[in-house]
Structure 1
């Protein structure tokens, strides 16, 4: 019996693995590269394209932490279907899903933005399986600000450039916040449904810049740039198709009044896990 962690060597899964390991919980890492798994941690290779391999990984599990990897929309939808099939077959004791910031926080809720089909299918399928589950719904990850063109300009030029309006408030969350909430929810079968994760009240770009400035020991100002300009900045890192998708996301966000969590069902309220401030997050990472 153990907790099965998807993406255990990646940005979201690795902190969950670390949190559970630190708490002395038995863990199993699902990864494509077992060589990167910390010593002493059991690792299994299970492909998102194989519901049979996934089901074997989940058999007898106390809980599963899962989020969909990046990829083409059709591939992600296929992965979601395979995950739902595997969960239905293996029936682990508990499943915690991270939306990874996708627009699919609450199935069936009215939203001005269409839900991500793959994430929505995964959530709806897990809910329909009858397995104990919870959904973690962060908005935007603070780690996005560590992309070299973003943090590099903040450090070298004193300018934090990002494709959100100067007054646009966001409930930023870190991967560490999601990990803390995931580790807690895996042991809270009494909590079902969506749990939001992120800063509340939400913060604007200038507040982010203040935190970076305090950390770097220099003045940092905020500069709102267009989604197209941001896509051009990150294309050399992520490739043009992925960068274009990121730009489209921020163009969509620009049509909204804010990007804030609902505090009533937040990790801060339900799990007594307040999110890190931007300053605390920077300090935790040693940036």
Structure 2
């Protein structure tokens, strides 16, 4: 039996593939390009837009790791419906869905919420990984470049705004643990606790690189403009809107009760540990 890992060629899925392969597990990577090469995995051509292709790759799987790709909300909702239809038909042994930071409030009506509701109604063994913000966002060229060039860490949050940051490596650790823990269901929050503020992040970067680094709050609009060349104007506008909404909150912190630390015994990396682990 195999583990099906979506996004195996990208930042979110690749660490899950690496962790499972290191543990000697069989891994299948569904991709849009049949000629893609994924170390540690067998590549199968399958896209989110085809229920038949997804059903074929999910059938007989020991576990499926799913996250929704960036794109228009209309496309993401279509993908969520197709994934659910395929999962209901194929009946894999276990499903782990990462929200990738998207809200799962039932009142939002978003694609992530639709997928969470569908999994709850499917009768499948499943769990939902709920990260907040990814530490990898701090590796965007205009962010890490500012750290090196002028000792500043620019990001679109208030200086006093605590965030339970997590990395893709932490998500992989939790996903692999959840495949082996069918007794853990529902939402599992991933992130640093207590949640660090922007200046805390800057201090960790400064300690790691051996220089003074100051946190620099920027506006969501500035961030959207800077990120647009990498993800496109439409998705960048959506990202800016997310940070605009975050600006109205007092914090973005996980609670210990449903954390990976408590439920799985998985310790989220500190910012300094993450910087070391990614080889910076």
TM range (shorter): over 0.9
Equivalent in 246, 249, 256 of residue 256 of structure 1: 249
Q: Following TM superposition, by how much is the alpha carbon of 1:116 offset from its aligned partner in structure 2, in angstroms?
A: 5.7
Q: Following TM superposition, by how much is the alpha carbon of 1:115 offset from its aligned partner in structure 2, in angstroms?
A: 3.2
1 CA distance for matches of 2:38 and 2:222?
A: 38
SS of match in other structure, 1:173: coil
Unaligned 5+ runs, structure 1: 109-113
Q: What's the counterpart of residue 61 of structure 1?
A: 61
SS of match in other structure, 2:216: strand
Q: How does 1:240-255 map to 2 (within 5 A)?
A: 240-255=233-248
**Contact 1:34–1:43 under 8 Å retained in 2:** yes
2 CA distance for matches of 1:136 and 1:225?
A: 29
Per-residue CA deviations over 1:250-287 (Å, capped at 9, x if unaligned) read 00000111001121011111111110000000000111
SS of match in other structure, 2:120: helix
1 CA distance for matches of 2:36 and 2:161?
A: 38
2 CA distance for matches of 1:275 and 1:209?
A: 18
Q: What's the counterpart of residue 275 of structure 1?
A: 268
Q: What's the counterpart of residue 12 of structure 1?
A: 12
Q: TM-score, normalised by structure 2?
A: 0.97
> Are residues 218 and 36 of structure 1, via their aligned partners in 2, closer, same or farther at CA, if it must alter by over 3 Å?
farther
Q: Following TM superposition, by how much is the alpha carbon of 1:39 offset from its aligned partner in structure 2, in angstroms?
A: 4.5
Q: Following TM superposition, by how much is the alpha carbon of 1:243 offset from its aligned partner in structure 2, in angstroms?
A: 1.5
2 CA distance for matches of 1:88 and 1:215?
A: 47
Q: What's the counterpart of residue 230 of structure 1?
A: 223
2 CA distance for matches of 1:22 and 1:157?
A: 39
**Contact 2:17–2:27 under 8 Å retained in 1:** yes
Q: Does 1:169 align with 2:162?
A: yes
1 CA distance for matches of 2:274 and 2:53?
A: 36
Q: Does 1:30 align with 2:26?
A: no
Q: Following TM superposition, by how much is the alpha carbon of 1:240 offset from its aligned partner in structure 2, in angstroms?
A: 1.8
**Contact 1:8–1:37 under 8 Å retained in 2:** no
Q: What's the counterpart of residue 278 of structure 2?
A: 285
**Contact 1:102–1:115 under 8 Å retained in 2:** no
2 CA distance for matches of 1:213 and 1:93?
A: 45
Equivalent in 128, 134, 138 of residue 135 of structure 1: 128
Q: Following TM superposition, by how much is the alpha carbon of 1:236 offset from its aligned partner in structure 2, in angstroms?
A: 2.3
Per-residue CA deviations over 1:168-221 (Å, capped at 9, x if unaligned) read 000000000000000110111111100000000101000100111112211000
**Contact 1:103–1:116 under 8 Å retained in 2:** no
Q: Does 1:145 align with 2:138?
A: yes
**Contact 2:21–2:40 under 8 Å retained in 1:** no
Unaligned 5+ runs, structure 2: none
Q: What's the counterpart of residue 83 of structure 1?
A: 83
> Are residues 176 and 226 of structure 1, via their aligned partners in 2, closer, same or farther at CA, if it must alter by over 3 Å?
same
Q: Following TM superposition, by how much is the alpha carbon of 1:5 offset from its aligned partner in structure 2, in angstroms?
A: 0.4
Name the Cα RMSD after superposition: 1.2
2 CA distance for matches of 1:116 and 1:208?
A: 33
Q: How does 1:54-133 map to 2 (within 5 A)?
A: 54-104=54-104, 108=106, 115=108, 117-133=110-126
2 CA distance for matches of 1:216 and 1:116?
A: 42
